[in-house]
């Protein structure tokens, strides 16, 4: 589908959460949601006729804790958890990694600044508060991924390494949403800041869409915003009409 033909029926907007809508914090539970963000997302959801979804590596329960009562479409755990039109449509057959996560925490207990974040069917190891432990933390996560086998893969981000089931990926989440109303037939835009968002950028390109990288770093995205504050200002402008973006340099 060409960009022009998709644009005739409007936009579909996909947004990452951490580092995109909110600033990254030292610990995942410590992020701060700006007071006006939920209302901004509600207004944008109405403007887009419901074609707005959050696509995040967090669980949906975690996301709902930060944005209680928002109720818009969301894909958590890189698309493994999906809530579309108020209905949960999670991928089936995912194993609980509780014992493996406990063992990983025990291995890294000597590094109190390292955070092992349980996502039940996956795990993220953060070393933002302990950069001196980066090599050990990354290797511990890689060792677990090797033990779990080909049903899992590693995703690296900003001072974090995640182990997720092989079916996870933000690109797949975007494609699933684009196959159904109210997203189908629209031109998609994806806004994200991290390596895992690159899969979303690739996906929207299939519809001639708009890929927006937040912050510095190499990216497949052709457009860029400086940080979450700039993203929120850009979205505020979009409640009136889709604002222009300068090409990324």
Residue listed under structure tokens 């070393």: 127
Q: Which tokens is 214 given? A: 């937040």
Q: Which tokens is 131 given? A: 């950069």
Has 156 been annotated as catalytic? no
Helix-helix angle 170-178:198-205, to 10 degrees:
30
Residues in the chain: 249
Q: Where are the alpha helices (DSSP H) in 108-246?
A: 134-148, 170-178, 198-205, 228-238
Q: Which tokens is 208 given? A: 């001639």
Q: What is d(CA 226, CA 209) in angstroms, rounded to the nearest whole number? A: 20
Provide the pairing of β-strand 210-214 with 223-225: parallel
Which residues, 6+ apart, have CB-to-CB distance to 100 below 8 Å? 123, 144, 147, 148
Q: Considering the candidates 16, 18, 193, 194, report the single residue annotated as catalytic.
A: 16
| Phi and psi torsions of 13, nearest 5° | -120, 130
By annotation, the residues acting in catalysis are 16
């Amino acid at each position: 589908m060409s960009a022009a033909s998709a644009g005739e029926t409007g936009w579909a907007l996909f947004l990452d959460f951490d580092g995109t809508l909110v600033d990254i914090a030292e610990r995942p539970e410590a992020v701060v949601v700006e007071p006006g963000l939920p209302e901004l997302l509600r207004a944008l959801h109405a403007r887009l006729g419901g074609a707005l979804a959050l696509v995040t590596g967090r669980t949906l329960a975690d996301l709902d804790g930060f944005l209680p009562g928002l109720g818009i479409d969301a894909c958590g755990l890189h698309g493994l958890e999906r809530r579309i039109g108020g209905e949960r449509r999670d991928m089936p057959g995912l194993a609980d990694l509780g014992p493996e996560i406990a063992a990983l925490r025990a291995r890294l207990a000597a590094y109190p600044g390292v955070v092992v974040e349980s996502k039940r069917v996956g795990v993220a190891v953060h070393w933002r508060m302990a950069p001196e432990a980066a090599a050990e933390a990354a290797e511990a996560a890689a060792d677990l991924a090797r033990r779990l086998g080909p049903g899992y893969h590693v995703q690296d981000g900003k001072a974090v390494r995640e182990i997720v089931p092989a079916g996870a990926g933000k690109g797949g989440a975007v494609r699933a949403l684009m196959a159904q109303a109210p997203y189908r037939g629209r031109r998609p835009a994806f806004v994200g800041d991290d390596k895992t968002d690159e899969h979303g950028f690739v996906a929207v390109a299939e519809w001639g869409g708009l890929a927006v990288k937040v912050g510095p770093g190499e990216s497949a995205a052709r457009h860029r915003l400086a940080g979450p504050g700039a993203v929120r200002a850009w979205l505020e402008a979009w409640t009136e009409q889709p604002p222009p973006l300068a090409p990324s340099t």
